[in-house]
Structure 1
Amino acid sequence: MTAPGWNALLLDQLTWHWEYQLRPRLDGLSDAELHWEPGGDVTTISWRLDHVTYALADRSARHFGRAAVAEADYPFGTTAAAALDRLDEEYETWTTGVRDLGEDGLLTPCGPAEGPWSDAPKAAIVTHIHREVIHHGAEVALLRDLYATR
């Protein structure tokens, strides 16, 4: 059996989380939940979904040829349905871009699009974006649980 390459492993990291944890936990998200303010310095589900959506869109624009994200596009969804539609679109764009990098593309430098990290391999930005999706996705799941039991 041939071991999977790094590109497949990195994609599996995100797609497994997306398919079996995050995306199923977003099913049934209501507009009220999206905008619920838990209190204190805790941001809303809307902020977290926008943050993840923007991270995916911005890095897809920097590295995979997606059109640049205009500030006027932010926030991405005033309704739960709109926010999730946009998140799904950006997830698909991102995963296609990462897949198309292949093994060699992961080792190429990020270039000027990443400022002081321009010499870092694209694998570094891929792992960073995956951490963002996993981290903030877990926060959204927790906020949904707290909303349900408030």
Structure 2
Amino acid sequence: MADMIVPDPVTRDILAAFENVRYQLFGRLEGLTDAEYHWEPVGDCIGIRPGDDGLFRVATLFPESSPEAPDPVTTIAWRIWHIGNLCLRGYVIYLFDDVPDYGDRDVWPGTAKEGIQALAEDWEYFISRIAALGDKRLLAPIGMGPGGWADETYLKLALHALKEVTHHGGEIGLLRDLYLREGV
């Protein structure tokens, strides 16, 4: 996407913001080990785990939180899954017409290398659809999707996706920093 010439200014700017975040996030993921990917810094951590069939699935889709208890801690694997599968892939599935065959959406890679690859693929699917819209369509109501998304614009969707990526990407960076300093 970085080499693409995009004449529409809003589309160009949102793609540039995504490219900047992609560069930072995937830079932070370089060298991620399987041990880090699955590291559970606290006892009640939420991650992805193998089922009886040997396939990895997320343990909890939406962790419960309350005013009395902090949000649960999740693994790097869970956060990569959340960004790739739940957010970017989910937005493509529910808010675009041309959806790739994702197979079993509940299954997620059990290794860091494969998880990062799946995230990269989900990223490209989402970004390619945003890029293809152009400013006119980007700024118009989506016209379909769950909840109130039909009345929202694709720009709002892209900004929401960018918020999710930066939020969870920052948490991934912090978890890596903590893992590398554990026991120091």
Whole-Å Cα distance in 2 between the matches of residues 14 and 125 of structure 1?
A: 13
Residue 114 of structure 1 deviates from its aligned partner by 3.4
Match of 1:23 among 23, 26, 33: 26
Q: Which runs of 4+ in 1 moved over 6 A?
A: none
1:37 aligns with 2:40: yes
2:99 aligned counterpart, secondary structure = coil
Structure 2 SS opposite 1:73 = coil
* 1:67 and 2:70 are equivalent in the alignment: no
| Cα distance in 1, alignment partners of residues 26 and 101 from structure 2 | 25
Q: Which has the higher helix share?
A: 1
Aligned partner of 2:4 in structure 1 is: none
Q: Determine if contact 2:8/2:135 at 8 Å carries over to the other structure.
A: no
Kept after mapping to 2: 8 A contact 1:64/1:97: no
Which one of 176, 179, 182 corresponds to residue 144 of structure 1? 176
For the residue of structure 2 that corresponds to 1:38, the secondary structure is coil
Match of 2:15 among 7, 11, 21: 11
* Equivalent-residue separation in structure 2 for 1:64 and 1:14 (angstroms): 22
For these two proteins, the number of residue pairs brought into alignment is 146
Q: Kindly indicate whether the alpha-carbon contact (under 8 Å) linking 2:36 and 2:179 is maintained by their aligned counterparts in 1.
A: yes
What does 1:1-150 correspond to in 2, within 5 Å? 5-19=9-23, 21-39=24-42, 41-54=72-85, 55-62=87-94, 63=96, 65-67=98-100, 69=102, 72-150=104-182
Which secondary structure does the structure 2 equivalent of 1:28 belong to? Answer: coil
CA displacement at 1:89 relative to structure 2: 0.6
Q: Relative to structure 1, is the Cα distance of residues 79 and 61 closer, same or farther in structure 2, using a 3 angstrom cutoff?
A: same
Q: CA 1:117–1:60 in structure 2 vs 1: closer, same or farther (change >3 Å)?
A: closer
Relative CO higher for 1 or 2, CA cutoff 8 Å, sep ≥ 6?
A: 1
Identity, in percent, stands at 34
Q: CA deviation at 1:116?
A: 1.8
Report SS of the residue matched to 2:151: coil
- Write the letter of the residue equivalent to 1:18: R
Single out whichever of 54-63 and 93-102 deviates more from structure 2: 54-63
Could you state the TM-score of these two structures normalised by the residue count of structure 2?
0.73
Q: Which amino acid aligns with 1:8?
A: R
Deviating more after overlay: 115-124 vs 85-94: 115-124
SS of alignment partner, residue 113 of structure 1? coil
